Amino acid sequence: MRTSRALSSTARLTALAAGAAAALTLAAPAAHAADPPLRDLAAAQGKVIGTAVTGSKLTGTYGDTAAREFSSLTPGNAMKWESVEPTRGTYNWAEADQIVDFAAAHGQQVRGHTLVWHSQNPGWLADGSWTAAQLGQLLDDHIATEVGRYKGRLAAWDVVNEPFNEDGTYRQTLWYNGLGTDYIARALTDARAADPAAKLYINDYNVEGVNAKSTALYNLVKSLKERGVPIDGVGLQAHLILGQVPSTLQQNIQRFADLGVDVALTELDIRMQLPADTTKLAQQKADYQAVVAACAAVTRCAGVTVWGFTDSDSWVPDVFQGYGAATPYDENYRPKPAYYGIAKALGGSGDGGTPPAGACTASYSVVNQWNTGFTGQVRISCSGAALANWKASWTFGAGQRISQAWNATCAQTGAAVTCSNASYNGTVPDGGSVTFGFNATWSGSGENPVPVVTLG
Ligand code: 9MR
Protein backbone atom coordinates (compact mmCIF):
# COMPACT_ATOMS: atom_id res chain seq x y z
CA MET A 1 0.00 0.00 0.00
CA ARG A 2 2.98 2.33 -0.16
CA THR A 3 1.67 3.01 -3.62
CA SER A 4 -1.30 4.79 -2.13
CA ARG A 5 1.08 7.39 -0.80
CA ALA A 6 2.78 7.70 -4.13
CA LEU A 7 -0.05 9.65 -5.68
CA SER A 8 0.91 11.72 -8.67
CA SER A 9 2.82 14.67 -7.42
CA THR A 10 0.21 17.08 -8.72
CA ALA A 11 -2.48 15.26 -6.80
CA ARG A 12 -0.24 15.37 -3.78
CA LEU A 13 0.32 19.06 -4.27
CA THR A 14 -3.39 19.61 -4.19
CA ALA A 15 -3.81 17.37 -1.20
CA LEU A 16 -1.22 19.35 0.65
CA ALA A 17 -2.10 22.78 -0.47
CA ALA A 18 -5.81 22.37 -0.08
CA GLY A 19 -5.19 21.98 3.61
CA ALA A 20 -3.52 25.33 3.90
CA ALA A 21 -4.11 26.80 7.27
CA ALA A 22 -4.28 30.45 7.97
CA ALA A 23 -0.94 32.07 7.77
CA LEU A 24 0.37 35.25 8.92
CA THR A 25 -0.54 38.56 9.81
CA LEU A 26 0.45 41.90 10.89
CA ALA A 27 0.99 40.80 14.46
CA ALA A 28 2.51 37.36 14.63
CA PRO A 29 1.22 34.96 17.30
CA ALA A 30 3.98 33.38 19.36
CA ALA A 31 4.89 29.92 18.05
CA HIS A 32 4.42 28.48 21.51
CA ALA A 33 2.75 29.69 24.68
CA ALA A 34 4.33 29.31 28.07
CA ASP A 35 3.43 25.63 28.45
CA PRO A 36 6.26 23.11 28.46
CA PRO A 37 6.40 20.52 25.64
CA LEU A 38 3.55 18.00 25.48
CA ARG A 39 5.74 15.13 26.67
CA ASP A 40 6.53 16.99 29.91
CA LEU A 41 2.87 17.81 30.50
CA ALA A 42 1.95 14.16 29.83
CA ALA A 43 4.67 12.84 32.13
CA ALA A 44 3.33 14.97 34.96
CA GLN A 45 -0.01 13.18 34.50
CA GLY A 46 1.63 9.74 34.30
CA LYS A 47 0.69 9.51 30.62
CA VAL A 48 2.52 8.97 27.39
CA ILE A 49 2.04 11.23 24.36
CA GLY A 50 3.17 9.67 21.12
CA THR A 51 3.27 10.15 17.39
CA ALA A 52 3.54 7.92 14.36
CA VAL A 53 6.67 8.75 12.40
CA THR A 54 8.30 8.18 9.04
CA GLY A 55 11.96 7.24 9.56
CA SER A 56 13.37 9.11 6.57
CA LYS A 57 11.96 12.39 7.86
CA LEU A 58 13.53 12.28 11.33
CA THR A 59 15.91 15.19 10.78
CA GLY A 60 15.55 18.97 10.82
CA THR A 61 12.34 20.48 12.14
CA TYR A 62 10.43 17.20 11.84
CA GLY A 63 12.99 15.34 13.95
CA ASP A 64 13.39 18.19 16.43
CA THR A 65 9.63 18.41 16.96
CA ALA A 66 9.15 14.65 17.27
CA ALA A 67 11.91 14.52 19.88
CA ARG A 68 10.88 17.60 21.83
CA GLU A 69 7.14 17.06 22.05
CA PHE A 70 6.55 13.30 22.15
CA SER A 71 7.51 10.57 24.61
CA SER A 72 6.60 7.67 22.34
CA LEU A 73 7.09 6.85 18.66
CA THR A 74 5.17 4.40 16.51
CA PRO A 75 6.63 3.53 13.11
CA GLY A 76 3.82 4.40 10.69
CA ASN A 77 4.82 1.73 8.20
CA ALA A 78 8.36 0.55 8.95
CA MET A 79 7.51 -2.49 11.07
CA LYS A 80 4.71 -3.87 8.89
CA TRP A 81 5.32 -7.25 7.32
CA GLU A 82 5.67 -5.90 3.77
CA SER A 83 8.31 -3.46 5.03
CA VAL A 84 10.44 -5.91 6.98
CA GLU A 85 10.22 -9.00 4.77
CA PRO A 86 9.35 -7.87 1.24
CA THR A 87 10.82 -11.06 -0.21
CA ARG A 88 10.52 -14.29 1.71
CA GLY A 89 13.58 -14.71 3.91
CA THR A 90 15.05 -11.31 2.97
CA TYR A 91 14.69 -8.80 5.75
CA ASN A 92 14.93 -5.03 5.72
CA TRP A 93 15.12 -3.54 9.16
CA ALA A 94 16.72 -0.24 8.19
CA GLU A 95 13.82 2.13 8.87
CA ALA A 96 12.56 0.23 11.91
CA ASP A 97 16.05 0.20 13.43
CA GLN A 98 16.45 3.89 12.71
CA ILE A 99 13.26 4.76 14.55
CA VAL A 100 14.09 2.55 17.53
CA ASP A 101 17.57 4.11 17.72
CA PHE A 102 16.15 7.64 17.43
CA ALA A 103 13.72 6.91 20.26
CA ALA A 104 16.49 5.53 22.47
CA ALA A 105 18.61 8.61 21.80
CA HIS A 106 15.74 10.88 22.87
CA GLY A 107 14.43 8.96 25.85
CA GLN A 108 11.28 7.86 24.04
CA GLN A 109 9.24 4.68 24.14
CA VAL A 110 8.40 2.75 20.98
CA ARG A 111 5.10 1.08 20.13
CA GLY A 112 5.67 -1.73 17.66
CA HIS A 113 3.10 -1.69 14.86
CA THR A 114 1.96 -4.23 13.70
CA LEU A 115 2.55 -7.97 13.61
CA VAL A 116 -0.62 -9.64 12.31
CA TRP A 117 -2.87 -7.75 9.92
CA HIS A 118 -4.83 -8.29 6.73
CA SER A 119 -3.18 -5.33 5.02
CA GLN A 120 0.33 -4.32 4.00
CA ASN A 121 1.46 -7.92 3.81
CA PRO A 122 4.11 -8.81 1.20
CA GLY A 123 2.78 -10.29 -2.03
CA TRP A 124 4.50 -13.60 -1.46
CA LEU A 125 2.55 -14.03 1.77
CA ALA A 126 -0.79 -12.54 0.74
CA ASP A 127 -0.93 -14.36 -2.60
CA GLY A 128 0.40 -17.70 -1.42
CA SER A 129 -1.88 -20.66 -0.87
CA TRP A 130 -0.98 -22.09 2.48
CA THR A 131 -2.13 -25.02 4.52
CA ALA A 132 -3.14 -24.23 8.08
CA ALA A 133 0.10 -25.78 9.31
CA GLN A 134 2.21 -23.62 6.97
CA LEU A 135 0.31 -20.48 7.86
CA GLY A 136 0.69 -21.16 11.58
CA GLN A 137 4.42 -21.66 11.12
CA LEU A 138 4.75 -18.45 9.13
CA LEU A 139 2.94 -16.58 11.90
CA ASP A 140 5.10 -18.12 14.64
CA ASP A 141 8.34 -17.43 12.77
CA HIS A 142 7.44 -13.86 11.85
CA ILE A 143 6.62 -12.95 15.43
CA ALA A 144 9.66 -14.72 16.87
CA THR A 145 11.91 -12.93 14.39
CA GLU A 146 10.50 -9.42 14.61
CA VAL A 147 9.63 -9.29 18.30
CA GLY A 148 12.89 -11.08 19.09
CA ARG A 149 14.89 -8.49 17.18
CA TYR A 150 13.63 -5.66 19.39
CA LYS A 151 13.38 -7.66 22.61
CA GLY A 152 13.64 -5.39 25.65
CA ARG A 153 13.58 -2.21 23.55
CA LEU A 154 9.86 -1.75 22.86
CA ALA A 155 7.24 -0.72 25.39
CA ALA A 156 4.34 -2.30 23.53
CA TRP A 157 3.32 -4.20 20.41
CA ASP A 158 0.14 -3.95 18.40
CA VAL A 159 0.17 -7.71 18.00
CA VAL A 160 -3.13 -8.10 16.18
CA ASN A 161 -4.52 -5.26 14.11
CA GLU A 162 -8.13 -4.75 13.03
CA PRO A 163 -9.60 -8.22 13.62
CA PHE A 164 -13.27 -7.15 13.54
CA ASN A 165 -15.91 -6.04 11.08
CA GLU A 166 -18.18 -3.11 11.96
CA ASP A 167 -20.96 -5.44 13.14
CA GLY A 168 -18.63 -7.21 15.55
CA THR A 169 -18.14 -10.37 13.49
CA TYR A 170 -14.60 -11.49 12.74
CA ARG A 171 -13.03 -10.03 9.64
CA GLN A 172 -12.39 -12.69 7.00
CA THR A 173 -8.64 -12.45 6.55
CA LEU A 174 -5.74 -14.61 5.54
CA TRP A 175 -5.32 -15.46 9.20
CA TYR A 176 -8.92 -16.01 10.17
CA ASN A 177 -9.67 -18.05 7.08
CA GLY A 178 -6.61 -20.23 7.57
CA LEU A 179 -6.45 -20.60 11.34
CA GLY A 180 -9.83 -19.57 12.73
CA THR A 181 -10.20 -17.20 15.67
CA ASP A 182 -7.35 -18.94 17.40
CA TYR A 183 -4.81 -17.02 15.37
CA ILE A 184 -5.26 -14.21 17.87
CA ALA A 185 -4.36 -16.25 20.96
CA ARG A 186 -1.51 -17.87 19.06
CA ALA A 187 -0.02 -14.53 18.01
CA LEU A 188 -0.24 -13.15 21.54
CA THR A 189 1.37 -16.27 22.99
CA ASP A 190 4.17 -16.10 20.41
CA ALA A 191 4.78 -12.43 21.18
CA ARG A 192 4.95 -12.99 24.94
CA ALA A 193 7.50 -15.77 24.40
CA ALA A 194 9.65 -13.53 22.21
CA ASP A 195 9.62 -10.49 24.53
CA PRO A 196 8.12 -10.98 27.98
CA ALA A 197 8.57 -7.28 28.82
CA ALA A 198 6.54 -5.77 25.98
CA LYS A 199 2.88 -4.95 26.60
CA LEU A 200 0.76 -6.86 24.11
CA TYR A 201 -2.18 -5.09 22.48
CA ILE A 202 -5.05 -5.76 20.12
CA ASN A 203 -5.69 -2.62 18.06
CA ASP A 204 -8.73 -1.61 16.01
CA TYR A 205 -10.63 1.39 14.62
CA ASN A 206 -14.23 2.50 15.20
CA VAL A 207 -14.01 0.98 18.67
CA GLU A 208 -13.69 4.31 20.52
CA GLY A 209 -17.31 4.50 21.65
CA VAL A 210 -19.54 1.77 23.01
CA ASN A 211 -20.87 0.00 19.92
CA ALA A 212 -21.17 -3.48 18.36
CA LYS A 213 -17.55 -3.55 17.27
CA SER A 214 -16.07 -2.39 20.56
CA THR A 215 -18.32 -4.82 22.40
CA ALA A 216 -16.98 -7.67 20.27
CA LEU A 217 -13.46 -6.53 21.18
CA TYR A 218 -14.49 -6.34 24.82
CA ASN A 219 -15.86 -9.89 24.73
CA LEU A 220 -12.71 -11.15 23.02
CA VAL A 221 -10.41 -9.57 25.61
CA LYS A 222 -12.58 -10.92 28.42
CA SER A 223 -12.41 -14.45 27.06
CA LEU A 224 -8.66 -14.21 26.39
CA LYS A 225 -8.14 -13.10 30.01
CA GLU A 226 -10.32 -15.96 31.25
CA ARG A 227 -8.31 -18.45 29.20
CA GLY A 228 -5.00 -17.10 30.49
CA VAL A 229 -3.88 -15.88 27.06
CA PRO A 230 -1.37 -13.02 27.43
CA ILE A 231 -3.16 -9.74 26.64
CA ASP A 232 -2.13 -6.47 28.25
CA GLY A 233 -4.01 -3.80 26.42
CA VAL A 234 -6.41 -2.60 23.78
CA GLY A 235 -5.58 0.07 21.24
CA LEU A 236 -8.39 2.38 20.17
CA GLN A 237 -7.07 3.87 16.94
CA ALA A 238 -9.28 6.97 16.98
CA HIS A 239 -9.33 8.08 13.35
CA LEU A 240 -12.09 10.58 14.03
CA ILE A 241 -14.13 13.15 12.12
CA LEU A 242 -14.47 16.78 13.21
CA GLY A 243 -17.25 17.25 15.74
CA GLN A 244 -17.80 13.51 16.12
CA VAL A 245 -15.90 12.46 19.23
CA PRO A 246 -18.06 9.61 20.60
CA SER A 247 -19.85 10.65 23.76
CA THR A 248 -19.16 7.22 25.26
CA LEU A 249 -15.38 7.41 24.79
CA GLN A 250 -14.44 7.66 28.47
CA GLN A 251 -17.04 5.08 29.48
CA ASN A 252 -15.64 2.70 26.87
CA ILE A 253 -12.04 3.23 28.01
CA GLN A 254 -13.21 2.59 31.57
CA ARG A 255 -14.96 -0.68 30.75
CA PHE A 256 -11.79 -2.09 29.20
CA ALA A 257 -9.77 -0.85 32.17
CA ASP A 258 -12.21 -2.62 34.46
CA LEU A 259 -11.46 -5.86 32.62
CA GLY A 260 -7.87 -5.51 33.82
CA VAL A 261 -6.14 -4.33 30.67
CA ASP A 262 -4.48 -1.06 29.71
CA VAL A 263 -5.99 1.15 27.05
CA ALA A 264 -4.12 3.36 24.61
CA LEU A 265 -5.42 5.73 21.96
CA THR A 266 -3.03 4.63 19.26
CA GLU A 267 -3.68 6.52 16.02
CA LEU A 268 -5.53 9.72 16.85
CA ASP A 269 -6.34 12.13 14.06
CA ILE A 270 -9.40 14.31 13.50
CA ARG A 271 -10.11 15.11 9.89
CA MET A 272 -12.12 17.97 8.48
CA GLN A 273 -13.46 18.96 5.12
CA LEU A 274 -10.98 21.28 3.43
CA PRO A 275 -10.24 24.10 3.40
CA ALA A 276 -9.64 24.55 7.10
CA ASP A 277 -10.94 27.75 8.65
CA THR A 278 -10.82 29.25 12.12
CA THR A 279 -14.20 27.81 13.12
CA LYS A 280 -13.18 24.28 12.14
CA LEU A 281 -9.79 24.62 13.77
CA ALA A 282 -11.46 25.75 17.00
CA GLN A 283 -13.79 22.74 16.88
CA GLN A 284 -10.79 20.52 16.26
CA LYS A 285 -9.07 21.97 19.32
CA ALA A 286 -12.14 21.11 21.41
CA ASP A 287 -12.23 17.60 19.92
CA TYR A 288 -8.54 16.90 20.59
CA GLN A 289 -8.94 18.20 24.10
CA ALA A 290 -11.98 15.98 24.72
CA VAL A 291 -10.19 12.85 23.48
CA VAL A 292 -7.03 13.42 25.49
CA ALA A 293 -9.07 14.39 28.57
CA ALA A 294 -10.99 11.09 28.35
CA CYS A 295 -7.68 9.23 28.51
CA ALA A 296 -6.33 11.45 31.26
CA ALA A 297 -9.42 10.68 33.36
CA VAL A 298 -8.84 6.91 33.41
CA THR A 299 -5.84 5.61 35.35
CA ARG A 300 -5.32 2.60 33.08
CA CYS A 301 -5.29 4.71 29.93
CA ALA A 302 -1.59 4.67 29.14
CA GLY A 303 -1.62 7.56 26.73
CA VAL A 304 -2.42 8.95 23.33
CA THR A 305 -0.52 8.64 20.05
CA VAL A 306 -1.33 10.89 17.11
CA TRP A 307 -1.14 9.34 13.65
CA GLY A 308 1.43 11.77 12.32
CA PHE A 309 1.97 15.07 14.14
CA THR A 310 2.00 17.33 11.08
CA ASP A 311 -0.51 17.72 8.28
CA SER A 312 2.38 17.16 5.89
CA ASP A 313 2.76 13.58 7.16
CA SER A 314 -0.84 12.39 7.38
CA TRP A 315 -2.52 9.56 5.49
CA VAL A 316 -5.87 11.39 5.47
CA PRO A 317 -5.71 13.53 2.28
CA ASP A 318 -4.57 10.51 0.26
CA VAL A 319 -7.51 8.39 1.33
CA PHE A 320 -10.43 10.72 2.09
CA GLN A 321 -10.82 13.04 -0.85
CA GLY A 322 -11.44 16.62 0.19
CA TYR A 323 -10.53 15.95 3.82
CA GLY A 324 -7.35 16.72 5.73
CA ALA A 325 -5.80 19.09 8.28
CA ALA A 326 -6.25 16.20 10.73
CA THR A 327 -3.15 16.55 12.93
CA PRO A 328 -2.01 19.03 15.62
CA TYR A 329 0.60 20.81 13.47
CA ASP A 330 0.18 22.41 10.06
CA GLU A 331 2.32 21.54 7.05
CA ASN A 332 4.93 24.07 8.12
CA TYR A 333 5.26 22.62 11.63
CA ARG A 334 3.36 25.41 13.30
CA PRO A 335 1.21 24.19 16.17
CA LYS A 336 -2.50 24.45 15.37
CA PRO A 337 -5.22 25.14 17.93
CA ALA A 338 -5.48 21.32 18.29
CA TYR A 339 -1.98 21.30 19.77
CA TYR A 340 -3.14 23.62 22.53
CA GLY A 341 -6.22 21.47 23.08
CA ILE A 342 -3.92 18.54 23.81
CA ALA A 343 -1.79 20.70 26.11
CA LYS A 344 -4.87 21.81 28.01
CA ALA A 345 -6.15 18.26 28.50
CA LEU A 346 -2.71 17.36 29.86
CA GLY A 347 -2.89 20.05 32.51
CA GLY A 348 -1.28 22.92 30.62
CA SER A 349 -2.81 26.34 30.12
CA GLY A 350 -3.60 25.55 26.50
CA ASP A 351 -3.12 29.21 25.72
CA GLY A 352 -2.01 29.97 22.21
CA GLY A 353 -2.86 29.01 18.69
CA THR A 354 -5.45 31.68 18.11
CA PRO A 355 -4.50 34.79 16.19
CA PRO A 356 -4.22 37.82 18.44
CA ALA A 357 -7.17 40.18 18.53
CA GLY A 358 -6.92 42.88 15.97
CA ALA A 359 -5.19 41.08 13.15
CA CYS A 360 -5.48 40.61 9.43
CA THR A 361 -4.53 37.17 8.25
CA ALA A 362 -4.09 35.49 4.89
CA SER A 363 -4.69 31.89 3.91
CA TYR A 364 -3.60 30.12 0.75
CA SER A 365 -5.33 27.21 -0.92
CA VAL A 366 -5.20 25.35 -4.20
CA VAL A 367 -8.67 25.15 -5.68
CA ASN A 368 -7.95 23.25 -8.89
CA GLN A 369 -5.04 21.42 -10.46
CA TRP A 370 -4.11 19.69 -13.67
CA ASN A 371 -1.03 18.05 -15.14
CA THR A 372 0.95 21.20 -15.79
CA GLY A 373 -0.54 23.75 -13.47
CA PHE A 374 -2.95 24.78 -10.80
CA THR A 375 -5.28 27.52 -9.65
CA GLY A 376 -4.58 29.09 -6.29
CA GLN A 377 -6.58 31.38 -4.08
CA VAL A 378 -5.55 33.70 -1.26
CA ARG A 379 -8.07 35.12 1.18
CA ILE A 380 -7.19 38.08 3.37
CA SER A 381 -9.46 38.50 6.39
CA CYS A 382 -9.46 41.19 9.05
CA SER A 383 -10.89 41.06 12.52
CA GLY A 384 -10.38 43.92 14.95
CA ALA A 385 -8.19 45.58 12.34
CA ALA A 386 -8.42 46.80 8.75
CA LEU A 387 -6.14 47.29 5.75
CA ALA A 388 -6.04 50.26 3.42
CA ASN A 389 -3.68 48.87 0.81
CA TRP A 390 -2.42 45.34 0.97
CA LYS A 391 0.45 43.30 -0.35
CA ALA A 392 0.64 39.51 0.05
CA SER A 393 3.92 37.62 -0.43
CA TRP A 394 4.96 34.00 -0.38
CA THR A 395 7.64 31.68 -1.74
CA PHE A 396 6.68 29.14 -4.36
CA GLY A 397 7.99 25.59 -4.52
CA ALA A 398 10.57 24.71 -7.18
CA GLY A 399 9.21 24.87 -10.71
CA GLN A 400 6.08 26.89 -9.91
CA ARG A 401 5.45 30.09 -11.90
CA ILE A 402 2.50 32.41 -11.78
CA SER A 403 0.99 32.93 -15.23
CA GLN A 404 -2.15 34.96 -14.60
CA ALA A 405 -3.84 36.67 -11.66
CA TRP A 406 -7.22 38.23 -10.99
CA ASN A 407 -8.32 40.71 -8.33
CA ALA A 408 -4.62 41.44 -7.73
CA THR A 409 -1.44 42.42 -9.57
CA CYS A 410 1.22 39.77 -9.12
CA ALA A 411 4.93 39.64 -9.87
CA GLN A 412 7.41 36.84 -9.40
CA THR A 413 11.19 37.05 -8.94
CA GLY A 414 12.80 33.64 -8.64
CA ALA A 415 10.52 31.79 -6.26
CA ALA A 416 9.30 34.96 -4.50
CA VAL A 417 5.77 36.05 -5.40
CA THR A 418 4.25 39.38 -4.40
CA CYS A 419 0.67 40.35 -5.16
CA SER A 420 -0.81 43.75 -4.44
CA ASN A 421 -4.37 44.94 -4.48
CA ALA A 422 -6.24 45.94 -7.61
CA SER A 423 -7.60 49.48 -7.79
CA TYR A 424 -10.99 48.38 -6.47
CA ASN A 425 -10.15 46.06 -3.54
CA GLY A 426 -7.38 47.71 -1.55
CA THR A 427 -9.59 48.10 1.51
CA VAL A 428 -10.18 45.12 3.77
CA PRO A 429 -12.60 46.35 6.45
CA ASP A 430 -12.73 45.14 10.02
CA GLY A 431 -14.77 41.93 9.88
CA GLY A 432 -14.41 41.65 6.11
CA SER A 433 -12.28 39.79 3.62
CA VAL A 434 -10.88 40.03 0.10
CA THR A 435 -10.04 37.10 -2.14
CA PHE A 436 -7.78 37.00 -5.17
CA GLY A 437 -6.75 34.16 -7.41
CA PHE A 438 -4.09 33.08 -9.85
CA ASN A 439 -3.09 30.40 -12.26
CA ALA A 440 0.40 28.95 -12.11
CA THR A 441 2.36 26.47 -14.14
CA TRP A 442 4.08 23.67 -12.34
CA SER A 443 6.93 21.49 -13.51
CA GLY A 444 8.34 20.16 -10.26
CA SER A 445 8.35 16.51 -9.38
CA GLY A 446 8.48 16.67 -5.60
CA GLU A 447 6.04 17.58 -2.88
CA ASN A 448 5.75 21.28 -2.19
CA PRO A 449 4.81 22.59 1.23
CA VAL A 450 1.96 25.03 1.48
CA PRO A 451 3.37 28.55 1.21
CA VAL A 452 3.11 30.88 4.15
CA VAL A 453 1.57 34.16 3.02
CA THR A 454 2.93 37.31 4.63
CA LEU A 455 0.96 40.54 4.58
CA GLY A 456 2.77 43.79 4.37
O1 9MR B 1 -0.29 5.65 7.92
C2 9MR B 1 -0.27 4.48 7.16
C3 9MR B 1 -0.21 4.84 5.70
O4 9MR B 1 1.02 5.47 5.39
C5 9MR B 1 -0.41 3.61 4.85
O6 9MR B 1 -0.48 3.97 3.48
C7 9MR B 1 -1.70 2.92 5.28
C8 9MR B 1 -2.00 1.69 4.46
O9 9MR B 1 -3.13 1.05 4.96
O10 9MR B 1 -1.58 2.57 6.63
C11 9MR B 1 -1.54 3.69 7.42
O12 9MR B 1 -1.65 3.36 8.78
C13 9MR B 1 -2.78 2.60 9.16
C14 9MR B 1 -2.40 1.81 10.36
O15 9MR B 1 -1.29 1.01 10.08
C16 9MR B 1 -3.54 0.95 10.86
N17 9MR B 1 -4.73 1.73 11.06
C18 9MR B 1 -5.13 2.58 9.97
C19 9MR B 1 -3.98 3.47 9.55
C20 9MR B 1 -4.42 4.41 8.43
O21 9MR B 1 -4.71 3.72 7.26
Q: Which pLDDT score, from 0 to 100, does residue 386 have? A: 85
Q: Which active-site residues does the annotation give?
A: 162, 267
Q: In whole angstroms, how far apart are CA 124 and each of 89, 224, 343? A: 11, 31, 44
**Cα of 107 to ligand 1 centre, how many Å?**
25
Q: Which pLDDT score, from 0 to 100, does residue 20 have? A: 36
Q: Which pLDDT score, from 0 to 100, does residue 27 have? A: 39
pLDDT in tens, 384-407: 788 888 999 998 888 899 999 999
Of 111, 159, 267, the residue with max ligand 1 atoms within 8 A of its CB, to mutate for a pocket test, comes to: 267
The residue whose CA is least distant from atom 21 of ligand 1 is 315
Of 307, 310, 323, the residue with max ligand 1 atoms within 8 A of its CB, to mutate for a pocket test, comes to: 307
- Ligand 1 site, CB within 6 A: 1, 4-5, 76-77, 119-120, 161, 205, 237, 267, 315
Q: Are strands 23-25 and 359-370 parallel, antiparallel or unpaired?
A: antiparallel
Atom of ligand 1 nearest to the CA of 237: 17
**Cα of 76 to ligand 1 centre, how many Å?**
7
Higher pLDDT, 382 or 207: 207
With a cut of 90, say whether residue 15 has pLDDT above it: no
The percent of residues above 70 in pLDDT, for the chain, comes to: 90
Q: What number does CATH give the domain 33-345?
A: 3.20.20.80
The percent of residues above 90 in pLDDT, for the chain, comes to: 79
Which of 152-166, 271-285, 316-330, 442-456 bottoms out in mean pLDDT, i.e. has the lowest? 442-456
pLDDT in tens, 108-134: 999 999 999 999 999 999 999 999 999
Q: Which pLDDT score, from 0 to 100, does residue 399 have? A: 87
**Cα of 123 to ligand 1 centre, how many Å?**
17
Domain layout of the chain by residue ranges: 7-30+357-456, 33-345
Query: pLDDT band for position 448 (50/70/90)?
Result: low
pLDDT in tens, 67-94: 999 999 999 999 999 999 999 999 999 9
**Cα of 273 to ligand 1 centre, how many Å?**
20
**Cα of 77 to ligand 1 centre, how many Å?**
7
Q: Which pLDDT score, from 0 to 100, does residue 444 have? A: 66
Atom of ligand 1 nearest to the CA of 119: 9
Q: How far apart are CA 366 and CA 16, in angstroms?
A: 9
The residue whose CA is least distant from atom 12 of ligand 1 is 76
Atom of ligand 1 nearest to the CA of 52: 1
**Cα of 393 to ligand 1 centre, how many Å?**
36
Which of 176-185, 321-330, 370-379 bottoms out in mean pLDDT, i.e. has the lowest? 370-379
The residue whose CA is least distant from atom 8 of ligand 1 is 1
With a cut of 70, say whether residue 6 has pLDDT above it: no
User: Does 7-30+357-456 match 33-345 in CATH topology?
Assistant: no
For domain 7-30+357-456, give the fold.
Immunoglobulin-like (2.60.40)
